[in-house]
Amino acid sequence: MFSLVVPIYNEEKLIDELLNRIVPAILSFTSDFELIFVDDGSTDNSLTALRGWQQKEKRIKIISLSKNFGHQAAFTAGLEYSRGDIVGMMDGDLQDPPEILAEMFRKITLEGYDIVSGRKTGRKGKSNRTFFSSLFHLFFRNMGEMKEMGNYGNFSMMTRNALSALLSLKEKVRYLPGMRTYVGFKQGEVEFVRDDRYEGRPKMSFLKLFRLASDAIFSFSKFPLRLCLVLGILGTIVFMAAGIYVVVAKIYGFAVIGWSSTLLSIYFLGSIQLLFLGVLGEYIYRNYKESQNRPVYFVKQYFDSPSEK
């Protein structure tokens, strides 16, 4: 069986179009599938629309979360509920073209890949997000432990085996594209051009995207800590040299009124220290999140396929 997980947050207007495209796209390679929609606490009629569709298309299952947990949590919920031998993840706004699923499925079933990620090679329509997204991926890749990771988002497919590995990572701060790369297995990719949103505004605000990017960086790299250490060491060397100069100047009596240099070094040291405290804070915060050990999401209601009731 094939499962497709799709998170939905206030997307009532595009659910019809979404299903009209997903179902034929999947039917082109299998008829044994389930569609798992995760309603991430929508406040519009998304859930009603999905429930309506469930009467027409019996292979739909809906998980309704107790509130908005964010799309990484929504994906996690859907993946945990999925039963397929091969499981796909796709955004619900038709930016990931469902027609690509067939190619992913082929790579897994015929070429022996365990994980196939969609690599974004471009984007239709105008968006300033592309720039920030590329910048993030460039930084993320070169920062350390994730050299293999391409310009991947959530659009992907994997075998049950790889998914079990992914789901065994119980971290609370979740960055699924990174976690998917981290687990290993035979990884492949399919290139695609990201479409413009079918309808509406992105539900991931810039703030949410910024948080996701920092979650990704802080959970997969010690680069920020390393940077603090290196700058700290450099600073120490510079100021030791300066200290020697000050002592020498004092001894030989050419010390002058050092108002600007004093102020500048206070400002400089003060701000560097605040910055480093901020970086440490990010790690402490994440550590705290992990030790609180709260579930990643709560399910309010699960609507199984009508046929299986």
Q: Give residues in contact with Mg ion (CB under 5 A).
A: 93, 95
Nearer to ligand UDP, 154 or 159 (CB): 154
Beta bridge partners of 302: 63
- C-beta separation of 163 from 232 below 8 A: no
283 token code pair:
């790690």
| From candidates 88, 92, 118, 178, binder to ligand UDP by CB under 6 A | 92
Residue least distant from ligand UDP (Cβ): 92
| From candidates 2, 3, 4, 9, binder to ligand UDP by CB under 6 A | 9
Nearer to Mg ion, 3 or 95 (CB): 95
Q: Which residues contact 91 (CB under 8 A, 6 or more apart)?
A: 6, 7, 71, 153, 154, 155
What is the rounded distance in angstroms from the CA atom of residue 281 to the CA atom of residue 287? 10
Q: How far is the CB of 132 from Mg ion (least distance, A)?
A: 14
Nearer to Mg ion, 93 or 215 (CB): 93
Q: What are phi and psi of 126, to 5 degrees?
A: -100, 135
In single-letter form, the type of residue at position 295 comes to: P
**Does 96 participate in binding ligand UDP (rule CB under 6 A)?**
no
Choose one: 67-75, 161-169, 214-222, 257-265; the region binding ligand UDP (CB under 6 A): 67-75
Distances (CA, A) of 266 to 223, 236, 269, 301: 26, 14, 5, 57
**Does 71 participate in binding ligand UDP (rule CB under 6 A)?**
yes
Q: Counting runs of H as helices and runs of E as strands, what totals does the chain give?
A: 10, 8
Nearest C-alpha neighbor of 188 from the set 154, 167, 158: 158
**Does 174 participate in binding ligand UDP (rule CB under 6 A)?**
no
Tokens 């990704």 -> residue: 216
Residues numbered 181 to 210 that lie near ligand UDP (CB under 6 A) are 202-204
Choose one: 88-96, 108-116, 178-186, 241-249; the region binding ligand UDP (CB under 6 A): 88-96
**Does 70 participate in binding ligand UDP (rule CB under 6 A)?**
yes
Residues that bind ligand UDP (CB under 6 A): 7-9, 11, 40, 68, 70-71, 74, 91-93, 95, 202-204
